[in-house]
Amino acid sequence: MRVAAHTDQTVHEILQSMVKKGWRITEQRRTLATLFAHAEGYLSPRDVYDHMTKKYPGMSFDTVYRNLRLLSEMGVLEQFYLNDGLKFKARCQSHHHHHLICLTCEKTYTFEFCPMPSVPELPASFDVVSHRFEIFGYCSDCKQSRKQEKEADKEDE
């Protein structure tokens, strides 16, 4: 199956969504948009804060949270509860698909197969609204590092 690196929303698309909603484009929001447009996986509020404060040392956590929440409500970002808390990434706007998610680096890889068409008939009494299908594992990069760790462990014995 064709599995693509995550296709991002462009910075421009994200900023456009903000403008459409009548929100102001501040320096920080521009940087935030750039961050998410280029991110390959899920980011925690902490990740975002750390990244932003490098450029804007005065930036506060509540501004990060405020913008994450606003962008989520707007549909620009999607949330996902991963291992150790809520994470965010730019929602794929293009088309419906699912993800491979690396348990180590939390990068996502798009794949096109959707199981819903092959699901046998569900009870008519249940109104289907949405579904989720994710495959978890280790991407080639992280698999590599895990392998090396194991070998290092053996040497210790």
Q: Which is nearer to a second copy, 46 or 146 (CB)?
A: 146
- Candidates 1-9, 33-41, 43-51, 116-124 — which segment interacts with DNA by CB under 7 A? 43-51
Pick what 130 binds: a second copy, DNA, none; C-beta below 5 to 8 Å, kind-dependent: a second copy
Residue 18: CB minimum distance to DNA, A: 7
Q: Which of 1, 2, 20, 24 binds DNA (CB under 7 A)?
A: 24
Q: CB of 98 within 8 A of CB of 134?
A: yes
- Residues at the contact surface with a second copy, assessed by CB under 8 A: 1, 3, 81, 86, 100, 102-103, 109, 111, 113, 115, 118-123, 125-140, 143
Give the three-class secondary structure for 68.
helix
Q: CB of 66 within 8 A of CB of 114?
A: no
d(CA 33, CA 95): 20
- How buried is residue 57: exposed, middle or buried, by Cβ count under 10 Å (0-12/13-18/19+)? exposed
Pick what 61 binds: a second copy, DNA, none; C-beta below 5 to 8 Å, kind-dependent: DNA
Q: CB of 110 within 8 A of CB of 3?
A: yes
d(CA 52, CA 142): 26
- DSSP classification of residue 103: T
Does residue 46 touch DNA according to CB under 7 A?
A: yes
Binding-site residue ranges for Zn(2+) = 102, 105, 139, 142
Binding-site residue ranges for Fe cation = 96, 131
